[in-house]
Structure 1
Amino acid sequence: MLTFKVLAALLDYPNAETVAAIPEMRAILKAEGVDAPVLLLERLERGDLLDCQAEWVDLFDRTRAGSLHLFEHVHGDSRDRGQAMVDLAGLYGRHGLTVQASELPDYLPAFLEFLSLLPEAEARNLLGEAVHVVEALAERVGRRNAEYGLLLAIVAGLAEGPAKPVRLATGDMDEDIDAAWAEAEVRFGAGAALSGC
């Protein structure tokens, strides 16, 4: 199902190639009967690419609550996350795929691209195993950006079966999570280097 590949591209860091492919993406979504995230597509097409990229970074890279790494939400930084990564990489391997060393297997756009290579029923079932995370992510991201929240809701809507009730590692305290995850502020100026001594 090419829809998974389209949604993967739209969830990934915006670039000129993605923007150029939007007419083709619209056609694929229409042909496969999936509602297009119209406002996001228009924003990417008509907006300044640098602004779109900055917005994406603020949503997905700067906050733990908005992380596109699925196991971040389930396992946090526990050892279980490592084993889950190994298991997912093994699933990719059984289908003849390998994960690039620079990418983690639980990155949602990579997972969606993997699903695009599978028969539709199998892809929807596998997505169903992660839909609870995608739904929670859609809600969290949607509070800050309706366009990407809708995109994640569209992804969740493709899953087979209802979401399984699972306690997510990040809970409901998004601000506390993000504060704990954020890097310390860097200060420049006279004496700044000595302040930690």
Structure 2
Amino acid sequence: MDRSLKALSLILSYPTAELQAAMPEIGGVLAAESRLTAAARRALRPLVEALGTQDIYALQETYVALFDRSRTLSLNLFEHVHGEGRDRGGAMVSLLETYRAAGFEPVTSELPDHLPVLLEFLATQPSAEARDILAGTAHILEAIAVRLTRRESPYAAAFEALVQLAGVKADREAVAELLDEPDSDPGDLAALDRVWEEAEVRFGPDPNAGCPQVRDMLARMDEPVTRAPKLAAE
């Protein structure tokens, strides 16, 4: 298992008391990750410390405000690729079928393209394949990192670390295109409701079945994964 991808999967999950208890181990894994620069490892320390020591309800409120109330910070990756369009539904079905074909029946309420779920899956894959798939999301991760840095959020370090683990430089034009979309105001709940009501994602058969790039990426995910709250490999 790639323990660093697993650690980042947990860090980017909804904060719980169980996660807080595991933060010393998670922080230790990331502090020892030689694929990250010394600067990247140092940048992760404030996030690790905050998740391990701050009031759990404050952490949960911050998490929801960042990732659930702002579409430009969404952890659902297809949101950044397809928005609420029909293609997103097809890509989601393809991903769900890939999980099931690999012997994994999701037991989470999150959507299949939720970043922590994908990272947990990639943590079980051969390193070259996991890195290749992660590299395909580098522009999304970089754009989210930039937005979080603007908000002075320690979560930015987790996305910057993922870009480093991908081993590529994010495409500047693709990042710029994502950043062209205005930041949404997480406090404007009425506006947020209107945005989410504009389109409905349907998870039924789609003749397009997602874009070819998504199908190619998912075709390389062929090992089962079991969700587990602990870092240690079985």
TM-score w.r.t. structure 1 length?
0.82
* Structure 2 gap ranges (5+): 195-234
Change beyond 3 A, Cα 1:142–1:31: same
Q: Whose Rg is larger?
A: 1
Task: Give the distance between the partners of 1:79 and 1:11, measured in 2 at CA.
Answer: 27
2:183 aligned residue: 174
Residue 58 of structure 1, CA deviation: 0.8
1:152 aligned residue: 159
Letter of the 2:15 partner, please give it: P
Does the 8 Å contact 1:73/1:170 carry over to 2? Answer: no
2:143 aligned residue: 136
2:57 aligned residue: 50
Residue 141 of structure 1, CA deviation: 2.1
* Structure 1 gap ranges (5+): 185-197
Letter of the 1:126 partner, please give it: I
Residue 99 of structure 1, CA deviation: 2.7
Relative contact order (alpha carbons < 8 A, sep ≥ 6): 1 or 2 greater? 2
1:110 aligned residue: 117
Quick one: percent identity of the two aligned structures? 41
User: Any idea what SS the aligned residue of 1:147 has?
Assistant: coil
Task: Give the distance between the partners of 1:8 and 1:27, measured in 2 at CA.
Answer: 15
Task: Give the distance between the partners of 1:142 and 1:2, measured in 2 at CA.
Answer: 25
1:70 maps onto 2:74 in alignment: no
2:193 pairs with one of 183, 187, 190: 183
1:194 aligned residue: none
2:90 pairs with one of 63, 83, 108: 83
Change beyond 3 A, Cα 1:101–1:12: closer
1:191 aligned residue: none
Does the 8 Å contact 1:3/1:29 carry over to 2? Answer: yes
Deviations 1:118-147 (A, max 9, x none): 111111111011111111111112222430
Task: Give the distance between the partners of 1:8 and 1:28, measured in 2 at CA.
Answer: 13
How many residue pairs match? The answer is 184
Residue 84 of structure 1, CA deviation: 1.4
Letter of the 1:73 partner, please give it: H
Q: Report which stretch shifted further, 119-128 or 137-146.
A: 137-146
Change beyond 3 A, Cα 1:145–1:182: same
Deviations 1:22-53 (A, max 9, x none): 11112222343242610011112221111111
2:4 aligned residue: 3
Task: Give the distance between the partners of 2:170 and 2:102, measured in 1 at CA.
Answer: 25
Task: Give the distance between the partners of 1:177 and 1:80, measured in 2 at CA.
Answer: 26
Task: Give the distance between the partners of 1:150 and 1:59, measured in 2 at CA.
Answer: 14
TM-score w.r.t. structure 2 length?
0.70
Residue 117 of structure 1, CA deviation: 0.8
Deviations 1:54-92 (A, max 9, x none): 111111111111111111111111011111112222333
Does the 8 Å contact 1:72/1:169 carry over to 2? Answer: no
Does the 8 Å contact 1:170/1:177 carry over to 2? Answer: no
Change beyond 3 A, Cα 1:85–1:65: same
